[in-house]
Amino acid sequence: MEAGSKTAECEANKMPRRDFLAWLSGAGVVGSALAGLVATFFFMKPRVTFGQPNRFLIGKPDDFPAGSRLAIDTKRICIVRDGERMAAISTTCTHLGCIVAPSATGFLCPCHGSQYDVDGNVTGGPAPKALAWYSVSLTPSGELEVDKDNEVQMGTYLNV
C-alpha cells in the first residue's frame, strides 16, 4: 500500500470537482423527487368530480319573480330575487348541516331550532355563524350560474 499516500493526495485534488459533481447529482435527484411530489399532489387532486357539481345553472332570471325566495333543496341553496337583484344563499345549517327551510322571518332549521333572518344572520338557536352566500353570475346565454366554490360576502347581489 505504498500508493496509499499518493492516492490520498490525488483525492485531495479531486475534492472540489467531486463536491461539485455530488452537488449536481444531489440537486438533480432531489429536484426530480420534488417535481415528482408536486406531480403526485396534482395527480391526487381531482380536476373533475362525478358527484353533485358545485357549479350549476339554475335557469333564467325570468323564472324567478321579483320578491321570490325559492329554495332548491337538491342543490341546497335558496335563490333570492329582490327587485332586479339576485343572490344565492346556502340552506345548509351552519350548526350541524341540516337543511334549513325558508320561512316568513328568514330560515328555520328543523333539527335543533337554529333561526336565521332573511339574509342568513343568526337570530337564535345553536348556529355558530351566518348562512353562506354564493356567487351568482349570468352566463353569456343568459342563464344564472351558481358557484358554490365561490363564497361571497353577505349582501352581494347580481343585478339582472
Binding site for other proteins (CB under 8 A): 1, 4, 18, 21-22, 24-29, 31-32, 35-36, 38-40, 42-48, 50, 53, 56-57, 62, 137, 139-142
Which residue number, 14 or 129, has a Cβ lying nearer to other proteins? Answer: 14
Which residues are 144's β-sheet partners?
Answer: 59, 138
Asked if residue 118 lies in contact with residue 105, where contact means CB atoms within 8 angstroms, the answer is yes
Which residue number, 82 or 112, has a Cβ lying nearer to other proteins? Answer: 82
Task: Quote the CA–CA distance of 125 and 109 in Å, as a whole number.
Answer: 9
- Minimum CB–partner distance for residue 142 and other proteins (Å): 5
Which residue number, 95 or 148, has a Cβ lying nearer to other proteins? Answer: 148
Amino acid at 39: A
Residue in the block written with cell 341546497: 76
Asked if residue 136 lies in contact with residue 145, where contact means CB atoms within 8 angstroms, the answer is yes
Which residue number, 24 or 96, has a Cβ lying nearer to other proteins? Answer: 24
What are the cell numbers at 133?
A: 352566500
- Minimum CB–partner distance for residue 97 and other proteins (Å): 24
Asked if residue 144 lies in contact with residue 59, where contact means CB atoms within 8 angstroms, the answer is yes
Amino acid at 51: G
- Minimum CB–partner distance for residue 74 and other proteins (Å): 14
- Minimum CB–partner distance for residue 127 and other proteins (Å): 30
